[in-house]
Amino acid sequence: MTKRDLTITDNRTGKSYDLDLELGALKAVDLRQIKISEDEQGMMSYDPSFVNTAATKSAITMVDGEAGLLCHRGYSIEELAEKSKYLEVAYLIMFGELPTRSELEVFESEIGRCSVLPQEVETMLRAFPADAHPMGVFISMIAAMGTFFPEARNVDDPEVRMQQVCHLTATVPTIAAYAYRNMADLPFVRPDSELSYTANLLQMLFKDPDRPYKVEPALEKALDVLFILHADHEQNCSTNVMRGIASSKSDPYGALAGAGAALYGPLHGGANEAVVRMLEKIEDKRNVPAYVERVKAGEFRLMGFGHRVYKNYDPRARIIKQVADEVFKVTGPSPLLDIALELERIALEDDYFVSRRLYPNVDFYSGIIYQALGLPVEMFTLLFAIGRTAGWLAQWQELLTDPEQRIARPRQIYTGSPPRDYIPLDKR
C-alpha cells in the first residue's frame, strides 16, 4: 500500500484520515470526511481574507514573495519592462504567448479601431461634476458601457469573449482620459489610432484641441513601462473580485467595474494616491523621523509600504525608481522624491519595518511619476486600473475556461444567536 501524502488524526475520535495533496496543497473539501458524528456536514477550513488559501490554479502570473520575483507566463518582469511594450505584454498575459509580429499588428489595429466610446457614454461622462473622483466615474462608466453591448453576456462564447477583451482594453484609456478632461473642464480629445497605445492616452489627456500635440518619447516609454508593471499580480484583491463576479457568469463590464471598485481602496490601488498625499503632508525630509515614529506608534500606516505576498523588495518598485529617474530628466526633479527616498532609507533600517518585512511596494514611487507627468493625484489609481485591465481580463477568461471553477460561494462559521422566538413589538 503506497504511503499517502498526509495523515490527519482527529484526537476527538481517535480516527485517522489519509489524504493526498494536489500540487502541494491540501484540498479543503477533503476535510469534510473528518466528522464526530455521521450526520455532520464535516470539517471546514477557516481562513479570513484568504491569507493561506489558493482559490484557483492559474498559469498567468507567478509571484515569489520571499525572493521578490514576478513573472508573467514565465517571463520575468525585469525583461518585460526592459524589452517589451504594454500591448505586447497584455497579449502575453491574456492569450498565453508572446505574439508574432503579425499577431501583434492585428491586435494593435483592433485596439485602435475599438477605442472610441459610444456617443451616449460621452454624454453621460459630461454629467459628472468636476469634483467627482475619477475612479467613481470610471466604475460607473464601465458598468454603463455594458448596457450598450448586451451580447457581452454570452460569456461562454469564445468569439464574444475576444470581442469584449479588445473592446475593454481599447476603451478603458479613453474613459480614463475623458474622466480627467471632465474634471479639468476641458473638451474631449478623440482617440488617435495612428499613435501607440500610450501615446494615444497622453494626447487624449493633454492635447489642446486647437494645436498639434507632440508626445515626449521618454514620457511615453515611462508610462508604457508603468502599465507593464501594473498589468497583473496573481489573486490580488481586485482580481479576486473580478473572478467572483465572473463566476456567476455576469458580463465582463460589471465584473471590471467591481474590480475597479476594489482597486479604489487605499489598502490596494488607492495607495498610490495616499502615498503622494502622505509625502505632501510630511512636507520636508527633515520631518521624516517624526512621521516614522507616529507610524510605529500605530497612528497610521506608511502608505506604499508592505505587501501580503512580498516579504522582500517588490521588484516593481525597484524598476519604478529607475523609470522615475528617466521622467525627471524631462520634467525636472520632484520635490517629493527626496522625502520618499528618506522615508525608504529610514524605514529599511528600522526594526519595526524590518521585523515585519515591510518594503516599498508598487505604489510607493508610482504616484510621484504620475504627478510629474502633470496628472492630479485623483487620477493615479485610474492609471493603475488601465494597466491592470489586461490582468483582470486574463483572469476573467481563465476562470470561465477552468473546468474546476463554479460559482464562488464561500462557507462561514456561524457565531450568532441560537434559534429564538419572535418578540411582539409591545413586549420588547
DSSP state at residue 305: B
Whether 268 is a known active-site residue: answer yes
Which residues, listed in sequence order, are joined to residue 360 by a DSSP beta bridge? 305
Q: Which is nearer to ligand SDX, 75 or 188 (CB)?
A: 75
Is residue 390 a contact partner of residue 231, using CB atoms and an 8 Å limit?
yes
Give strand ranges (E) for 100-160: none
**Of 356, 374, 401, 411, the one binding ligand SDX by CB under 6 A:** 356
Question: How near is the Cβ of 295 to ligand SDX at its closest, in Å?
Answer: 5
* Rounded Cα–Cα distance for residues 381 and 281 (Å): 19
* Rounded Cα–Cα distance for residues 138 and 262 (Å): 12
* Rounded Cα–Cα distance for residues 245 and 251 (Å): 8
Q: Which candidate in 72, 133, 167, 307 is catalytic?
A: 307
Q: Which is nearer to ligand SDX, 196 or 238 (CB)?
A: 238
Q: Does 358 bind ligand SDX (CB under 6 A)?
A: yes
Q: Which is nearer to ligand SDX, 80 or 166 (CB)?
A: 80
Q: Which is nearer to ligand SDX, 254 or 304 (CB)?
A: 304
3-state secondary structure of 312: coil
**Of 303, 320, 372, 394, the one binding ligand SDX by CB under 6 A:** 303
Amino acid at 344: E
Question: How near is the Cβ of 403 to ligand SDX at its closest, in Å?
Answer: 26
Phi-psi region of 285 (alpha: psi -120 to 50; beta: other; left: phi over 0): alpha
Q: Can you list the pairs that 156-162 forms with residues at least 24 positions away whose Cβ atoms lie under 8 Å?
A: 156/249, 156/400, 161/252, 161/397, 161/400
Q: Does 361 bind ligand SDX (CB under 6 A)?
A: yes
Full DSSP string of 103-128: HHHHHHHHHHHT-SPPHHHHHHHHTS
Q: Does 295 bind ligand SDX (CB under 6 A)?
A: yes
* Rounded Cα–Cα distance for residues 390 and 182 (Å): 25
Q: Does 223 bind ligand SDX (CB under 6 A)?
A: no
Q: Does 77 bind ligand SDX (CB under 6 A)?
A: no
Look at strands 61-64 and 15-19 and give their pairing. Answer: unpaired
Question: How near is the Cβ of 240 to ligand SDX at its closest, in Å?
Answer: 9
Question: How near is the Cβ of 361 to ligand SDX at its closest, in Å?
Answer: 4
Q: Does 301 bind ligand SDX (CB under 6 A)?
A: yes
Site residue total, ligand SDX (CB under 6 A): 21
Q: Which is nearer to ligand SDX, 65 or 136 (CB)?
A: 65
DSSP H or E segment with residue 18: strand 15-19
Question: How near is the Cβ of 302 to ligand SDX at its closest, in Å?
Answer: 4
Instruction: Quote the longest CA-to-CA distance of the chain.
Output: 81
DSSP H or E segment with residue 341: helix 335-347
**Of 161, 167, 243, 307, the one binding ligand SDX by CB under 6 A:** 307
**Of 178, 305, 370, 392, the one binding ligand SDX by CB under 6 A:** 305
Q: Which is nearer to ligand SDX, 54 or 195 (CB)?
A: 54
Q: Does 363 bind ligand SDX (CB under 6 A)?
A: yes
Q: Which candidate in 192, 268, 338, 350 is catalytic?
A: 268
Directed axis angle between helix 158-183 and helix 134-146, to 10°?
A: 150
* Rounded Cα–Cα distance for residues 298 and 392 (Å): 33
Q: Does 271 bind ligand SDX (CB under 6 A)?
A: yes
Amino acid at 207: K
Q: Which is nearer to ligand SDX, 323 or 362 (CB)?
A: 362
Which residues, listed in sequence order, are joined to residue 355 by a DSSP beta bridge? none
**Of 267, 294, 325, 410, the one binding ligand SDX by CB under 6 A:** 267
Is residue 5 a contact partner of residue 20, using CB atoms and an 8 Å limit?
yes
Q: Does 236 bind ligand SDX (CB under 6 A)?
A: yes
Q: Which is nearer to ligand SDX, 153 or 301 (CB)?
A: 301
CA nearest neighbour of 198 among 87, 78, 296, 336: 87
Question: How near is the Cβ of 362 to ligand SDX at its closest, in Å?
Answer: 5
Is residue 133 a contact partner of residue 378, using CB atoms and an 8 Å limit?
yes
Whether 72 is a known active-site residue: answer no
Stretch that binds ligand SDX, among 38-46, 70-78, 125-133, 355-363 (CB under 6 A): 355-363
Whether 363 is a known active-site residue: answer yes
Name the residue with the smallest CB distance to ligand SDX. Answer: 306
Residues that bind ligand SDX (CB under 6 A): 233, 236, 267-269, 271, 295, 301-309, 356, 358, 361-363
- Catalytic amino acids? 268, 307, 363
